[in-house]
Every structure is written in C-alpha cells, then in structure tokens.
Structure 1
Amino acid sequence: MTTTTDLAVNLLDAKSLISSVGTVGLLAIIFAETGLLIGFFLPGDSLLILGGVAASSAASKAFGAGVQMPIAALLIGAPLCAIAGAQLGHLLGAKVGGRLFDKPDSKIFKREYVVKAEEYFTKFGPEKAVVMARFIPIVRTFLNPVAGTLEMPARTFFIWNAVGGVIWTEAMLCIGYFFGDSMAPVIDKYLIPAMALIILLSISPILIEVLRDRKKRKAGGAAYAAEAEAADALQGGRHRRG
C-alpha cells in the first residue's frame, strides 16, 4: 500500500516519478511546476532529463522493463505544458497578484521566493528574466505571477515565455535522450551532482551579468572619484592663485 509519506517522497524523486506517472503525468508535473505556486518544489529539471532517458534506448536499463516514453510526445508536449503553465502564472499575477503575495510565510509559501523573483525581473529586464528564470528552480515558478503583478504586457510575456519554455524543455530532454546510455548506469549516484552542474551552467549568464554590473559600478565609482579629485585640485589651484 502507498502511504502519504511514500507519495511525498516520490513527488521529490524524479526517478520514482518517471517510473510511476508515465508521459501524461510528466507533462502534468511540468505544467504544475511552472503554473501553480504549490508546484515550486517539483523536480522539473531532473524530471525532463530522466524523461529523455526514458525515451531513449537506455530506458529499460535505467528504470526497468516496461518504462518507455515516446520522444515525439515529450518534445511537443513538454514545451506546450511549460508555456501554458507560465501563462497561467502570469494571468494569476495580473488578476490577483497583490492578494496572492500579500500574506505571511507558511510551510509552503515563503515571501523570499517572491522577492528573489522580483529582483531577477528588475535587475535583468522583463524579457531576459523570463527566459533565464526557466533554468532556475523556484524562481521559474514565482517569476511568472510576478511578471503579471508588475504588469508585463501579456503579448510580450508570451513571446519570451515561449522562447524560454522551448529552450529549457528541449535542452533538458535532449541531454537525457542523447546521453541516456552513458547516464543509465550511474543515474542514482550522479544525478544530483549532474543537476547541480547543469543548473550552474544555466545560471552562468546571470553570474556574468552580476559581474559586469559590479565592474560597471566600480568603474563608475573610480571615474567619479577621479573627477572629484580633479575638481579639488583645480579648486585648490584657484585658491593658490588668488
């Protein structure tokens, strides 16, 4: 018998999910993770990668007999569900964003999630933030309603949401599909380190932007100091001439 505890653990275990929910369940989870705030804890990245493995020739080696997902259905369905989920999140933010986020912390909801999503949105600009957030767990869930709350136009959001959704889902699926044979024997041991590496690589554009911003600030501060120093020197020279 499956207990509540087992179900909770399975929801956090991408390999267990692949073995139990099938293609339709995988697509539903991708929709929930990107569209429903309560889905932020779901393992979207690793689920897509393992979905790719489950569609490859290594499926039985990785998950046992009887597990084989159709790659065409995943390549078409995953981006559609990711895009639709994010659009729902944007709509919720536009309609009830203020009331949605104006509540105290609970076991599931943490205001820091919203604050972090707002920081990405304002720091990198709406378009870039929508695309990059796809590769960052939790942020990709909360940024969509934040975009709606901050009144990002629905048409603009849809365009960049589609770009990010396609790149994210297809990249993760293809990693699993094309490297399934290499990953199958070591999935249990190396999945978490591999996901950490993938997330690190995916957020590298953000890290680059942060470093550039810091350099600009330092350069701006140095330029300001040089101008002030020159002004002081000029003012001192005038006093001496006087």
Structure 2
Amino acid sequence: MPEILTMLLHIDQYLGLWVEQYGAWIYLILFLIIFGETGLVVLPFLPGDSLLFIAGAFGASGLLNPVALALLLFVAAILGNTVNYHVGRYIGPKVFSTESRFLDKKALLKTQAFYAKHGGKTVVMSRFLPVFRTFAPFVAGVGSMPVWRFQAYNFLGAGLWIFGLITLGYFFGNVPIIKDHLSTIVLIGISAAAVPVAGGVAWRFIQSRRALK
C-alpha cells in the first residue's frame, strides 16, 4: 500500500509506466482517481491538478486519447462532486461536532468558513484548490444548497478544471523546462488560484471591521 500511495503522490513520474502496464485500463484508473478525490472526503491527498496536466501531455504524445480522456474525467469530476454532496446532505451538520480519524476536521472547518464567505461560487473556485475541492461539495450538501444550483456550479467548475488543465498539459506539458519542474509549476498555479480568494476574504474582513466602527 505505501508503494501505491507513493506512486499516486508522484503521478507525473509513474503515469508513463502505468500506461505501458495497463493499456486501455489506464482510463478507468484515472477515472477512479478523479472520482475518489472529488467524491470521497477521506481521500483529499489524491492527485488532481498534476494528474490532469500530465495526462494532457500524454495526450499530445499520442499515448492517450485527449478527447476521450477529457470527457471521461469530466464525468468522473461531476459524479464525484454529486456523491460527495449527497453524502454531506445525508449526514448533516452533526459532522462538525463529531470526531473521526478518517476525516480532516481542520480542513472541513476551513472549507465551511470558505463556503460561508463565497456561497455557491465555492464549488467552482475550490476545483483549483487541493483539499478544498474535496470538501466543498460535502459542505454544500451539509448546508443544503438546492440540488439544481449545486449542479450548475458543479458542471461549470468541472468543465473549467478538467478541460482547462488537460488543454494546458496538451500544449505545454511536453516542453522540457515545464516537464522538469512540474511540481514547482503546479505549486505556483495553486498559489495563483489561492491569492484572489485570500484577497477577497481579506477585503470582506476589512469591510466588516469598517462597518462596526
């Protein structure tokens, strides 16, 4: 199991090996990884951004079908969020007051605060923020967001995330300097996505403080 976990966390290094070993089954494997990261709150550590980017690069190399891959993972992302949402809706607010060694309580509470600030937009924005994207649909379910509204944000976020990163990987994933520094680039990308969110939260905090004066 530790070896599998290591391979998952360094998907950019092992995806080529998996493609050779599993052939067409790699599509199912990637489907399950994206579904697991977005659909199961106990699996926030699974790769998302790096997997999509490097999979796009493999699509450009002809080792994967980029169109079939994008459509399949788009479905996986939508289904994952949908399952996560309904689990949160079923469990309800009591999850915040119970302890579980399988659930990252701090990450859950941070996502709840994020959701309280940004509402439904959280489902879209969190797609580009690791850990947050795992908990956002769950919190939306706990908060009883209307299903139709959740699905609208769900489809939009999944489309931007899946098609956006696979397209970027397709066109830039095989550029040597990018390929050699993928982890750093992904980290920069995550930071770039987080900065506007943090800025928005800080601005709202400042406005609320001014209102109290």
With the length of structure 2 as denominator, give the TM-score of the two structures.
0.88
Decide whether the 8 Å contact of 2:9 with 2:46 is kept in 1.
yes
Please give the secondary structure, in 1, of the residue aligned with 2:181.
helix
What does residue 2 of structure 2 align with?
A: 5
From 27, 31, 34, the equivalent of 1:27 is 31
Structure 2 contact 58–64 (Cα < 8 Å) conserved: yes
Distance 1:9 1:45 in 2: 16
Mapped to 1, the partners of 2:174 and 2:138 lie a distance apart of 38
Q: CA deviation at 1:16?
A: 4.2
Partner of 1:163: 156
Q: CA deviation at 1:26?
A: 1.1
Structure index of larger Rg:
1
Give the C-alpha shift of residue 39 in structure 1: 1.9
Structure 1 segment 1-242 matched on structure 2, within 5 A: 4-19=1-16, 20=18, 22-57=26-61, 68-98=63-93, 100=95, 102-106=97-101, 108-125=102-119, 127-182=120-175, 184=176, 187=179, 189-217=180-208, 219-220=210-211, 224=213
What residue ranges of structure 1 are gaps of 5+ in the alignment? 60-67, 225-242
Contact 1:30 1:78 (C-alpha < 8 Å) held by counterparts: yes
RMSD: 2.0
SS of residue in 2 equivalent to 1:203: helix
Asked if structure 2 preserves the Cα contact closer than 8 Å seen for 1:97 and 1:145, the reply is: no
Farther-moved stretch of structure 1 (141-150 vs 8-17): 8-17
Once the two structures are TM-superposed, the CA of residue 217 in structure 1 deviates from its matched residue by: 3.6
Structure 2: where are the runs of 5+ without partners? 20-25
> What's the % identity of the aligned pairs?
29
In 2, Cα distance between the equivalents of 1:186 and 1:83?
29
Find the aligned partners of 1:193 and 1:98 in 2 and give their Cα distance: 37
Structure 1 consecutive aligned stretches of length 4 or more whose deviation exceeds 6 Å: none
Other structure's SS at 1:39 match? coil
Q: Is the CA contact (8 Å cut-off) linking 2:172 and 2:178 kept in structure 1?
A: no
Q: Distance in 2 between matches of 1:211 and 1:100?
A: 27
TM-score between the two structures when normalised by the length of structure 1: 0.78
**Alignment length, in residue pairs?**
206
Distance across 2 between alignment mates of 1:162 and 1:154: 12
Q: Provide the rounded CA distance (Å) in 2 between the counterparts of 1:100 and 1:32.
A: 20
The residue type equivalent to 1:81 in the other structure is: A
